[in-house]
Amino acid sequence: MLVMLDKVVLYEIRMPFRHFFETSFGRTYDKEAVLVEVAANDLTGWGECVACEGPFYSYEDRNTAWYVLSEYLIPWALEHQTTGPEEFLEQAARIRGHNMAKAALEMALWDLNAKREGVPLWKKLGGCRKRIPCGVSIGIQDNPEQLIDKITRELEDGYRKIKVKIKPGWDLEILERIRSRFPEIPLMADANSAYTVRDIPRLRELDRFRLMMVEQPLYDDDIAEHARLQEVLETPVCLDESIRHVRDARLALDLGACRIINIKPGRVGGLIEARKIHDLCRERGVPVWCGGMLETGIGRAHNISLSTLENFTIPGDVSAGRRYFERDTVRSPVEVEADGTIKVRNAPGIGWEPERGRIDEITVRRKEFVRQ
């Protein structure tokens, strides 16, 4: 069936988090992001750009994403009537990097195509899981007691993996306290590149906490140094920031830089590339899990769809929407059941319906692009 891409709308949104979220690169109080809506033949597809309020997790932020989408990606898609995600990526390849901007539109096109075919996105991607096992990512707190309280509550809610953020000064002592209170829970730590090779002796101390893994301890743009670290560390290294595409993933596995990979569709330029990394890891017997970027319901729904693929065997960072927002961007926010799983939905597309009234309320900038 011929589909006409009639319109693409960008929404820059801002809404408060229920609690601030702090990583080694800083503290954030508000969700600031760009949503992408594509409209074709009375159907709409949605994507959420994971670029943050500033260039701290990576060089991209909401402004660079807005710029790349509005100056290049959207005009190209409208001009060439690009509705297929594969075809879109071929066009987008002309732009170096800017994966988060690319992913936002690619994922909106996936949603659109799934809706057009009347199938859930997870099925279209080749997923097989009916339930997604969930973990939580808990930021740096004002004091250790608050962190212990939070962990207690998340465990009561059924979550199957606790990830805490670490940085020099909030690491060994904190993990010591967690382990003395919860000796057996599935626990991991994410450093968001807060350490350097000079810290390798300190990082080796992590081995005594029996962590599931340590995520991105070293430089965001370096794979070789992680291989040097993994060689002397018993704890598995998991890479997040360093993996931008399947070629990075292959290099990392070839060098022994990690034993686990965190896949975020936004970071790698969309669902096609995310699936390639998944497939490579499956062939190599390396487990993966789906990371999160504090998404609203739209991005969360995409992450859930991806997480249904076979090799997503480790509980991810995909958790309930109400952990982050009083009111979400979707009609009935993502919920996690008492057994720590999210039930996958069978509605066509991403399965969670954007709530336009709410999106309008939190929109601080909007731009419409129409077919000429």
Residues in touch with Mg ion (CB under 5 A): 190, 215, 240
Q: E strands of the chain, at which residues? A: 5-23, 26-40, 43-49, 131-133, 136-138, 162-165, 187-190, 214-215, 237-239, 260-263, 288-290, 341-343, 363-370
Among 115, 150, 165, 167, which one carries the catalytic annotation?
Answer: 165
The yes or no reply on residue 122 touching ligand OSB (CB under 6 A) is no
The phi, psi pair for 357, rounded to 5°, reads -60, -45
CB nearer to ligand OSB: give 48 or 317.
317
CB nearer to ligand OSB: give 112 or 261.
261
Interacting residue with ligand OSB among 44, 192, 305, 307 (CB under 6 A): 192
Size of the site for ligand OSB (CB under 6 A): 11
Q: In what helix (H) or strand (E) does residue 62 lie, and over which residues does it extend?
A: helix 62-68
SS3 content of the chain, % helix, strand, coil (to 5): 40, 25, 40
The yes or no reply on residue 193 touching ligand OSB (CB under 6 A) is no
The yes or no reply on residue 57 touching ligand OSB (CB under 6 A) is yes
Q: How many angstroms separate the CA atoms of 370 and 169, rounded?
A: 51
The yes or no reply on residue 242 touching ligand OSB (CB under 6 A) is no
**Annotation says 123 is catalytic:** no
The yes or no reply on residue 35 touching ligand OSB (CB under 6 A) is no
Q: Per CB under 6 A, which region of 12-20, 222-230, 292-300, 330-338 contacts ligand OSB?
A: 292-300
Q: How many angstroms separate the CA atoms of 1 and 146, rounded?
A: 55
The yes or no reply on residue 307 touching ligand OSB (CB under 6 A) is no
CB nearer to Mg ion: give 126 or 168.
168
Interacting residue with ligand OSB among 265, 292, 351, 354 (CB under 6 A): 292
Return the residue matching tokens 């009537």: 81
**Annotation says 343 is catalytic:** no
CB nearer to Mg ion: give 12 or 317.
317
Which of Mg ion, ligand OSB, none lies near 108, with the C-beta cut-off 5 to 8 A by kind?
A: none
Handedness of CA 295, 299, 305, 306 (dihedral sign): negative
Residue 241: CB minimum distance to ligand OSB, A: 7
Question: Is there a contact between 241 and 211 (Cβ–Cβ < 8 Å)?
Answer: no
What single letter denotes the amino acid at residue 317?
Answer: D
The yes or no reply on residue 294 touching ligand OSB (CB under 6 A) is yes
Closest CA to 35 of 86, 74, 92: 74
Footprint on this chain of ligand OSB (rule: CB under 6 A): 23, 57, 137, 190, 192, 240, 291-294, 317
Residues recognised as catalytic:
165, 264
